[in-house]
Chains A and B, each alone.
Chain A
């Protein structure tokens, strides 16, 4: 069915179809609409979930964990301060190998109070053992949420998945949304380590270094095993519903001499910049990284690279620029742009490419111009 929806409503619509047994969530701008919409669905009976209106995000994740360990499907949604308030339990969810799905509406962290888009909130959770996907349209928010349940609950993954969408730019933008009849796309959940009263087991007891180490490796092994599962899920999604997704969305990259790399909505904006630059005679292309974890391998050999980070790791650099420098051995022109919702247009992005200075870092609008 074709409708028009916000990113938040698209996430809620996907959750309704995935039908988690338990939803526990706490409102925060700009995620609020997801929580409200799910509450509506539950109240009207369209969604048969236990909805727990918890008193905090720490409790939201704790409740998903308590529910999840009984073997049922769970969902929550949050943003920035909420994500960090639950940080302890974000780690716990992955360590406990619970396939919880969470939507995170990317927003800056205070102080000062800022409710607009930035990726630093979720980037700071990148080492927790969660899979993380970043979307660039309302349609993709819906599609990625559906796929998240199937990926998280896959027997060789069993790790939580965070679906990230840019605050306001996506959460509150109205775009067309083609919903699908999911059929059996998301199989029933089966958690091999679910609590079983007839087989009493203790979970999360004291664990010595040797066993702890093995359990950590097990998370990493599943993270690696998630790569083919994600690929297979995206391919199956394309087969059934006609929309194709990859780890990295490439745009006019084949013959490109310079590529712009960005995430979320900036990755889409970069495509418009590429068209503009091509008209000017520059062989440009763009890559939109969708999966932050597992972090994709990208062949950038022979290309100049401009990376736009809507995030920052103080004392280190733009996380994507630094990561690609480390994993792919490139020397990118690192642009820090869009923090706290700063407006970045395709013209700006084209400007970054025209004035690229490999190996240097630019804070757009703050330190120097291109």
Chain B
């Protein structure tokens, strides 16, 4: 594996919360992408943590754009670079709300058109920027400011939606596994066409756990099977090591749920729904990996 470069493209002193996995994720994404990169960022926590004009914490060009517009904006940018014969990575870095909800149309359009870009969704499972309202990616049972007694519906299957577009490369990752994330970004950028990486980004204030536990929370998500690390490269699925291990011997789901205030008082029905969704996902991916789907 290649060394992770020492260069930093997200500079110190951002206005991110302590323990923010959005910034941790971005740090490794940019290390993997390198300086020949333009980042397109819709409204989300990332548009806040860069700092206030005329200052910026970003050491690569960043185009901040309207909430629903990231994938379409990147389409235009990618086409313009192509027209001008310039080479640069065009990377959308968007939250779950900007991806599974308001931005899904633009995302779908850009993937259907075969846009040459990388779309990264960092998923903190709610609208962080506006103070933690539910999103389509919020899991069932989780309390947010608009689901004060826990979300009733299950998390939207974003990866299923993206997979239906048959992109040449898609993967999941988690901020708690930065090396895995790093190599997935590098691999994605080596392929032409629309690429997608969905990164679980545990969020201390949103999920209501203490800020030093961000990495631990990401690991618990993977070990409990609530988050599965895998890649789908030209249609071929590979489940990555940590999730392979979790599929053989998962930790109890409660170990992931209990430290999080958002799941406080979760009903046993909601836990059962979480469990069955996780099991269904694991089953489907395993079958796909073995080629029996």
- Can you sample 8 A-B contacts with CB below 8 Å? A50-B82, A63-B73, A66-B40, A66-B74, A67-B83, A88-B66, A206-B48, A206-B51
Number of interface residues of A (CB under 8 A): 41
Contact present for B52 and A52 (CB under 8 Å): no
Contact present for A67 and B52 (CB under 8 Å): no
Give the A-B contact count at a CB cut-off of 8 A. Answer: 162
A139 interface hit (Cβ, 8 Å): no
Contact present for A205 and B80 (CB under 8 Å): no
With contacts A58-B69, A62-B69, A205-B51 known, what are 20 further pairs, Cβ within 8 A?
A22-B76, A24-B72, A54-B75, A54-B109, A58-B68, A59-B72, A63-B75, A63-B79, A66-B63, A66-B78, A67-B79, A67-B80, A67-B83, A72-B83, A92-B65, A197-B37, A201-B61, A202-B56, A203-B64, A205-B52
- The digit string for A45-69, where 1 denotes a CB below 8 A from any CB of B, is 0000110111110111011111111
Give the residues from 87 to 131 in chain B that come closer than 8 angstroms, CB to CB, to chain A. 88, 105-106, 108-109, 112-113
Give the residues from 26 to 49 in chain B that come closer than 8 angstroms, CB to CB, to chain A. 35-38, 40, 47-48
A-B complex: 3 closest residue pairs judged by Cβ atoms: A55-B109, A66-B76, A63-B76
Q: Which residue in A54, A71, A74, A205 is a CB contact (below 8 Å) of B72? A: A54
- Chain B residues whose CB sits within 8 angstroms of the CB of A22 once the complex forms: 76, 79-80, 83
B234 interface hit (Cβ, 8 Å): no
Q: Which residue in A49, A65, A71, A74 is a CB contact (below 8 Å) of B65? A: A65
**When A197-B36, A202-B58, A205-B52 are in contact, do A62 and B79 touch as well, CB less than 8 Å?**
no
Q: With A and B bound together, what is the CA distance between A36 and B72 in angstroms?
A: 20
- Chain A residues whose CB sits within 8 angstroms of the CB of B108 once the complex forms: 55
- The digit string for A182-226, where 1 denotes a CB below 8 A from any CB of B, is 000000000000011100111111111001000000000000000
- Chain B residues whose CB sits within 8 angstroms of the CB of A68 once the complex forms: 76, 80
Q: Which residue in A56, A67, A71, A204 is a CB contact (below 8 Å) of B76? A: A67
Contact present for B105 and A55 (CB under 8 Å): yes
Contact present for A195 and B38 (CB under 8 Å): yes
Chain A: minimal CB distance from B84 (Å): 6
A70 interface hit (Cβ, 8 Å): yes
- Chain A residues whose CB sits within 8 angstroms of the CB of B47 once the complex forms: 205-206
- Chain B residues whose CB sits within 8 angstroms of the CB of A157 once the complex forms: none
A115 interface hit (Cβ, 8 Å): no
Most chain B beta carbons < 10 A, residue from A89, A200, A207:
A200
B54 interface hit (Cβ, 8 Å): yes
Most chain B beta carbons < 10 A, residue from A52, A66, A70, A201:
A66
A175 interface hit (Cβ, 8 Å): no
User: Nearest residue in B to A69 (C-beta to C-beta)?
Assistant: B63
Chain A: minimal CB distance from B47 (Å): 7
Contact present for A208 and B53 (CB under 8 Å): yes
Q: Which residue in B60, B64, B81, B105 is a CB contact (below 8 Å) of A205? A: B64
A331 interface hit (Cβ, 8 Å): no
Contact present for B76 and A52 (CB under 8 Å): yes
Contact present for A89 and B69 (CB under 8 Å): yes
A156 interface hit (Cβ, 8 Å): no
Number of interface residues of B (CB under 8 A): 46
A21 interface hit (Cβ, 8 Å): yes
Instruction: Say what secondary structure dominates the interface of chain B.
Output: mixed
Contact present for A59 and B64 (CB under 8 Å): no
- Chain B residues whose CB sits within 8 angstroms of the CB of A71 once the complex forms: 80, 84
Q: With A and B bound together, what is the CA distance between A92 and B37 in angstroms?
A: 23
- Chain B residues whose CB sits within 8 angstroms of the CB of A66 once the complex forms: 40, 63, 65, 72-78, 80
Contact present for B64 and A92 (CB under 8 Å): no
Chain B: minimal CB distance from A91 (Å): 9
**When A58-B69, A205-B50, A208-B52 are in contact, do A52 and B61 touch as well, CB less than 8 Å?**
no
Q: With A and B bound together, what is the CA distance between A205 and B58 in angstroms?
A: 11
- Chain A residues whose CB sits within 8 angstroms of the CB of B51 once the complex forms: 205-206
Chain B: minimal CB distance from A156 (Å): 22
Q: With A and B bound together, what is the CA distance between A207 and B37 in angstroms?
A: 24
Contact present for A72 and B73 (CB under 8 Å): no
Contact present for A205 and B56 (CB under 8 Å): yes
User: Nearest residue in A to B79 (C-beta to C-beta)?
Assistant: A50
- Chain B residues whose CB sits within 8 angstroms of the CB of A207 once the complex forms: 52-53
- Chain B residues whose CB sits within 8 angstroms of the CB of A197 once the complex forms: 35-38, 60-61, 88
Contact present for A58 and B72 (CB under 8 Å): yes
Q: With A and B bound together, what is the CA distance between A60 and B79 in angstroms?
A: 13
User: Nearest residue in B to A56 (C-beta to C-beta)?
Assistant: B105
B146 interface hit (Cβ, 8 Å): no
Q: With A and B bound together, what is the CA distance between A71 and B77 in angstroms?
A: 10
Contact present for B81 and A62 (CB under 8 Å): no
- Chain A residues whose CB sits within 8 angstroms of the CB of B61 once the complex forms: 195-197, 200-203
User: Nearest residue in B to A198 (C-beta to C-beta)?
Assistant: B35
User: Nearest residue in B to A207 (C-beta to C-beta)?
Assistant: B53
B163 interface hit (Cβ, 8 Å): no
User: Nearest residue in B to A59 (C-beta to C-beta)?
Assistant: B72
B59 interface hit (Cβ, 8 Å): yes
User: Nearest residue in B to A60 (C-beta to C-beta)?
Assistant: B72
Chain A: minimal CB distance from B10 (Å): 11
B62 interface hit (Cβ, 8 Å): yes
Q: With A and B bound together, what is the CA distance between A201 and B75 in angstroms?
A: 20
- Chain B residues whose CB sits within 8 angstroms of the CB of A204 once the complex forms: 63-65
Chain B: minimal CB distance from A58 (Å): 6
Q: With A and B bound together, what is the CA distance between A58 and B73 in angstroms?
A: 10
User: Nearest residue in B to A23 (C-beta to C-beta)?
Assistant: B79
Contact present for A65 and B64 (CB under 8 Å): no
- Chain B residues whose CB sits within 8 angstroms of the CB of A59 once the complex forms: 69, 71-72, 75, 105-106, 109
